[in-house]
Structure 1
């Protein structure tokens, strides 16, 4: 009798907990959200007043800015207006605040180009909306950031409706802060960082453009009425990462799954993958930057999103990153007459991060120089490797220093050039002069630099994985646009093959590469971005009307 009563009591308590605990947690989250809204209300009012003041001050520039872009953006704006839910103006004059969660907005990489192109498209579609970027770049002000955006990416933004809120807790998402359990630590750190952002301002739409899915889950927990969107460059964890732990795997964790420590690491990653799957189910709109990323995100998030809403699985859409293809077409001539302006230069555009695998490319280049006596198309020139990339912090500076040492040890120092934090004109200069574009990262999620190579007519030699293999360096008209490689030997042979093509073969491949790049234009990105952004705006309008 007593045991049966205890069992019945325990069962009842479990049932009650399962029924009421989610509701209790939900009420708690919304209570915290209500407090955060009230606490940031004054800052919101001050921000909107500042926007209004700056708009009046820039009234003459507004006309010039819009006039300069009217021809280019007319089709996009017209397309967007016709895709609103009621096929009319519905949200055309929406004046909400869009919060972009991008703590490293001044880094200058491909992910940042996506951010600024997204803001530009949003400004064109909703001129009175305010775009707020949550950043940890305390060392630069708004004017300096926008100037760098113009210099690095040639993207001109309208300053009055772009504002920055500075976070004081960015160190919590640095890998150096979490020497152990890094994936979990950085994800928990993103919760701290997101809470920091919400204490500054609660936006009307919240979008993560760096990969902090946990921040979006926290937003959903606090503010169910705030639609969330994710532009995923790379899954925080993937089946490929789990597979890499095995002997013979690739990447920075190759073979790390051996022994008891490896087994523990594998179990930890599997548990983290389940947690990552849970947070992915809370996001309203999901965009991925490539087919490779889409496949992994669908595998991780698709089933849980499907359970919450039967129609959400198909919403994980590929939105290729914006690349300055149109500008490169006009700025870089690709023809037989300009071939003599190119030299045997191998160009690698990539941030100086470990996963970019600059060491592999240096070793392959050293092998190229040691195993070849010259190339008929460049009889009097020795190949040169040019490494172009942004340097974010002291770790990157140390990495560049070590790469310089490696070039010295490989006895190729005189044939390698490092260009840190290059301006767009510098990048253009090398795209005009180089013959080969290089990518060394295993499972690169997309590869904006590779598209830039193609648009400039370079012959690409890329890693035989990820986006560069699946989406970019593919056959056009049944013929190759470049080469794939994985090992030092394969890269060296691909470099040699690229430099040994006949003039006719070289020109034909450059033409195919440029044709391939037309799939990744700024316009194409803007059209798809606006389509998904419209869904978020419509959701915000609907939820606001319910409250």
Structure 2
């Protein structure tokens, strides 16, 4: 669908609402509400077609699986549906809710941790409310629903119930790409997300709207267009944070892509722009009915930015819902003991999307330094040469493809090409194999919001060497009271030294650290994610029921 003049008008109205005095704001609110009424009525026909198609696909599924009584895996119901929910009006919150939940996730095929959260959330929703329809607003035109469901299973080992999933394809996703905004990127992407949101609402107005990618401005737009549609956000990373502002004055060069960029008149202008944007972002938080964050680090920043504007909301408290990780499967698939130690190779594994902020270049340089130091010691001459294995997804037709090309060039320049392996878009069995045979798992992103890959390292018994910041420092690679569960580092020297220290541990201590890390990872299971996700979603469904009932009386 082409981007229409009506969409441009909506964007102008909403942007003006952010910037103009209060009286004019009332007028614009009324205009946006009228536009929302128009969009809702305009998409009612598509809504009926979608629900009719879902019913037909469900009937076809039942006819082919006559003994199925639940969603994709009946046994999973016991894990997340131990007790039926009850709304405040006394009505059950169980499987009789038949509304549409719209998940805003323009890159649902990216294959990263955010996508694992999306599909795990959809799965938990399906198991609790099998009659609900999960609509995904996506820009991935190259994938069909069948392909996407298969990819969720092969990449994440998440089995979905296809009939109640609907993909609605956006035609404007390019407006949220950072490459579109060489200057004022934060504001550009945020306003660009409004264009994509208008595109989404032109396709369908949902009963509940949830942003699972971090485009918070779209939630505010939804709230103005559809006041009776509850809104939720699963925040992986705050769009702006106090850490980002502080990084502008950092002289070490280790605090992200903008480290030390606050110098000169341009730096001063950037600081002022970021501070103004932080105020605007803080106001946006007041439009989100239920907020979930993926880590203690993210929660602290969201509380700081959004907390003041959320004081009067029904569900003002921000909830930490750790991302789902395949801890149970990794525990059952991979042994960790003295005997299994012999099968471990001196390999360093980095599982992360091939994007600049993941800082693969730091790992490559640290690995090269580690190998140089190792070669200087004659005692290592008879030992096998360590290997660096980089596994990650690549968003096609994006800057990611150029980025991985540059990383390969860097490996060549550092003379570690023969010891470095790049694996793009690996299947889950491939990832599982490397988790079972590698010795070290690493992550070099500054302020990684959580670090699903790091939890996978721990659950598989790898010794973690991670950046001393963000989620890995606050939640994952921590001492649980019985000893270290890995190493933390910041600079190339520190990473190189940690690689050496991890491999040089006596076997007994290696096994002990692996087991401590494995025990620690039990905090991040898929079952625990599903339980907390459903608690949050019950709040939105209860609110939706209450609002829908109030309009009928």
Which deviates more, 64-73 or 500-509?
A: 64-73
Q: 2:304 aligns with which of 299, 305, 308?
A: 299
Give the C-alpha shift of residue 21 in structure 1. 3.7
Pick closer, same or farther for the CA change 1:46–1:62 going to 2, 3 Å. farther
Q: Work out which of the residue numbers 103, 124, 129 in structure 1 matches 2:127.
A: 124
Offset at 1:129?
0.3
Where does residue 351 of structure 1 map in the other structure?
Answer: 353
Tell me the distance in 1 between the aligned counterparts of 2:65 and 2:184: 50
Answer whether contact 1:365 1:385 (CA < 8 A) is retained: yes
Q: Whole-Å Cα distance in 2 between the matches of residues 196 and 273 of structure 1?
A: 26
> 1: CA distance between counterparts of 2:330 and 2:69?
22
CA distance in 2: counterparts of 1:62 and 1:105, whole angstroms: 31
Whether the 8 Å CA contact 1:247–1:258 is kept in 2: the answer is no
When structure 1 is superposed on structure 2, of 58-67 and 530-539 the one drifting more is 58-67
Distance apart, 1:69 and its partner CA: 3.0
Measured after TM superposition, the shift of residue 20 of structure 1 is 4.5
Is residue 375–residue 499 contact of structure 1 (8 Å, CA) maintained in 2? no
Partner of 1:14: none
Change (3 A) 1:125 1:536: same
Residue 455 (structure 1) aligned with residue 459 (structure 2): yes
Kindly tell me: are residues 135 and 218 of structure 1, through their superposed partners in 2, closer, same or farther at Cα, counting changes over 3 Å?
A: same
Separation in 1 of the partners of 2:322 and 2:176?
A: 26
Of residues 171, 175, 178, the one that matches 1:172 is: 175
Q: CA deviation at 1:63?
A: 3.9
What 5-or-longer segments of structure 1 have no aligned partner? 1-16
Instruction: Find the aligned partners of 2:127 and 2:379 in 1 and give their Cα distance.
Output: 50
CA distance in structure 1 between the aligned counterparts of 2:76 and 2:380, rounded to whole angstroms: 40
- What SS does the aligned partner of 2:232 have? strand
Q: State the distance in 2 between where 1:144 and 1:287 align.
A: 29
239 and 67 in structure 1: CA distance in 2 versus 1, 3 angstrom threshold: closer
TM-score computed with the length of structure 1 as normaliser: 0.93
Secondary structure of the corresponding residue to residue 336 of structure 2 = coil
CA positional deviation for 1:401: 1.2
**Structure 2 CA distance for aligned equivalents of residues 288 and 472 of structure 1:** 15
Q: Deviations over 1:377-409 (max 9, x none)?
A: 995301000000001024212111111111111
Other-structure match for 2:321? 319
Supply the distance in 2 between the matched residues of 1:377 and 1:526 (Cα, whole angstroms).
47
| Count of aligned pairs between the two proteins | 527
Compute the displacement of 1:180 (Å): 1.0
Paired with 1:292 and 1:202, the residues of 2 have a C-alpha distance of 33
Give the drift of 1:375: 10
Among 264, 284, 300, the alignment partner of 2:269 is 264
1:441 aligns with 2:445: yes
1:515 to 1:376, Cα distance in 2 relative to 1, 3 A: farther
Question: Any idea what the Cα deviations from partners look like across 1:179-226, whole Å, max 9, x if unmatched?
Answer: 111100000000000000000000000000000000000000000000
CA contact (8 A) 1:287 1:318 kept: yes
Q: 2:210 aligns with which of 204, 207, 212?
A: 207
Distance 2:69 2:410 in 1: 47
C-alpha deviation, 1:86, in angstroms: 6.0
Alignment of 1:273-288 (within 5 A): 273-288=278-293
Following TM superposition, the consecutive aligned residue runs of length 4 or more in structure 1 with deviations greater than 4 angstroms are 17-20, 374-379
2:342 aligned with 1:340: yes
Gapped regions of structure 2 (runs ≥ 5): 1-19
Inter-partner Cα distance in structure 1 for 2:389 and 2:207: 44
Distance 2:395 2:193 in 1: 19
| Partner secondary structure for residue 66 of structure 1 | coil
Could you say if the C-alpha distance between residues 37 and 329 of structure 1 is closer, same or farther in structure 2, counting changes exceeding 3 Å?
Answer: same
Q: TM-score when scaled to structure 2? A: 0.92
Q: Supply the distance in 1 between the matched residues of 2:74 and 2:190 (Cα, whole angstroms).
A: 41
Task: Verify the 8 A CA contact 2:79 2:527 in the aligned structure 1.
Answer: no
* Partner residue, 2:39: 36
